Amino acid sequence: MIRRILAVALFAVLAAVLGAGCTDTPEQSITDIFRDYYAAYNARDWDACLGHIDDATNLGAGAIRSALQQSMAATGAVTLESVDNIQVSGSSATAEVTLTWAGSAGSETLERALVKKSSAWKISYPWD
């Protein structure tokens, strides 16, 4: 009897944990993608950066990696200040991303496009 109660309790806890992880809104998921992307950028983890970019393999992962390295060399690390004005339309979205580059006197707000593939949001590249 105790085993059955423990099994039911364990199942309830597992269901609650898994259910809580599946409640992200598209806006939260998109914000998380940018947070993870810029954390990888600052860590110089180019493969992780490429993992957040839509279809990076077909665009030329080597060329994108090189562009990321050149950007880091030129501007240094970046602070993600905010992700705002997220507009979702089906499997595409846009967001305004505000960044501050190391050594910069101010911040810059850029509009970025995203696409949802296999239930995951990816940043569209190249940026405009």
pLDDT in tens, 72-93: 998 899 999 999 999 999 999 9
The domains located in the chain, with CATH, are 25-123 (3.10.450.100)
Query: What would the mean pLDDT of 55-65 be, rounded to a whole number?
Result: 77
* 94: exposed, middle or buried (Cβ count in 10 Å: 0-12, 13-18, 19+): middle
Q: State how far the Cα of 15 lies from the Cα of 126, in Å rounded to an integer.
A: 40
pLDDT at site 58: 66
Cα 96 to Cα 105: distance, rounded to the nearest angstrom: 20
Cα–Cα distance measured from residue 75 to residue 101, given in angstroms and rounded to the nearest whole number: 6
52, 61 Cβ separation under 8 angstroms = no
pLDDT at 104 exceeding the cut of 90: no
